[in-house]
């Protein structure tokens, strides 16, 4: 499902114009990105949490050049679904 598909679904369900829905969806995604960039987690009850995970510094190997490189500590975004979300996906039978 693409962002356009999500916009179409929301527009059909709510009767709101697609342009308005698209701006709202994009604003929501931008808000989540901005919060994570500021090292703040985003919690959406019943859906899940967008969290910032911290990766420690580590040593890696470039096998083709047979060299060792250091990967510095960094943050990565992650998503942790809510229990109700997981249960709904688990119970879906095709």
Q: What is the pLDDT of residues 32-43, one digit of tens each?
A: 999 999 999 999
**What's residue 17's pLDDT?**
96
Residues 6+ apart with CB under 8 A from 49: 41, 42, 43, 79, 80, 82
**What's residue 94's pLDDT?**
64
* Number of domains the chain is built from: 1
Q: What is the mean pLDDT of residues 44-60?
A: 95
Q: What is the mean pLDDT of the chain?
A: 94
pLDDT band for position 92 (50/70/90)?
confident
* Domain of residue 59, residue span: 3-91
Residues 6+ apart with CB under 8 A from 67: 61
């Amino acid at each position: 499902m693409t962002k356009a598909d999500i916009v179409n679904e929301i527009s059909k369900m709510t009767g709101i114009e697609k342009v308005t829905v698209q701006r709202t969806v994009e604003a929501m995604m931008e808000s989540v990105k901005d919060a994570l960039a500021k090292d703040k987690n985003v919690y959406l009850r019943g859906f899940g949490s967008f969290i910032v995970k911290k990766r420690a510094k580590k040593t890696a190997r470039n096998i083709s050049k047979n060299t060792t490189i250091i990967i510095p500590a960094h943050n990565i975004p992650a998503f942790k679904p809510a229990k109700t979300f997981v249960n709904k996906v688990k119970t879906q039978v095709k």
